[in-house]
Amino acid sequence: MQANKELTLQNEAKVKNWIIGISIAIPLAVAVLLFMPAKITTLGDWVYFLPHLNAVINSAASVALIVGLIFIKQKKYSYHGATMTVAFVLGAIFLVSYVIYHGSAESTSFGGEGSIRTVYYFLLITHILFAAIALFPILFAYYYGYTDQREKHRKVVKFAYPIWLYVSVTGVIVYLMISPYYVN
């Protein structure tokens, strides 16, 4: 029994190290891609479709997050786990698509004027800041949920869920606000 507990603690320490590493590496990689002086242009024009796809993915992830909350409130744990896994997978697909797009296309400038510009940049900046920190609590929440460590899961979800939902929803809003200014 003691050997089994020690093995579990060792595995959890490794998982925590991976989560911390991934939570640091991905935002750094995204920042590098956003500020690269030269984009990867060999992928072709199809990448200009990705922001539209990303908005659909973020919308679906937002719905999955809300449905997951409804399921947990109803104590439908397996449904909750399934919908949160859907949200998690959608988030991973979004991240890959986002990296491909920003590694190969120039950033689009927002063309709105007046107070809408202030609203846009407020949403964009808070979206970016929360997205940069979101992965850390999301990965821990998912890990604790997946390994059925409910008490730890509940503690992390208090932070992870609102951040994740905010990032998903504001991602869609920012997209809708900037989409008229996309060139391709």
Q: How far is CA 26 from the centre of its chain?
A: 11
Q: What single string gives the DSSP state of each residue in 36-69?
A: -SS---TT-GGGGGHHHHHHHHHHHHHHHHHHHH
pLDDT digits (tens, 9 = 90+) for 96-106: 998 888 888 88
The DSSP H or E segment spanning 113 is: none
**What is the mean pLDDT of the segment spanning 2-25?**
76
- Mean predicted confidence (pLDDT) in 172-181: 91
The residues spanned by each domain of the chain are 2-181
d(CA 42, CA 35): 18
As a whole number, mean pLDDT of residues 35-43 equals 73
Q: Quick check: pTM over 0.75? A: yes
**Across the chain, what does the average pLDDT equal?**
89
How long a stretch of residues is the chain?
Answer: 184
Distance CA 93, CA 88 (A): 9
CATH class of 2-181: mainly alpha
Contact 157, 149 (CB under 8 A): no
For 44-73, what is each residue's pLDDT tens digit?
Answer: 788 889 999 999 999 999 999 999 999 999
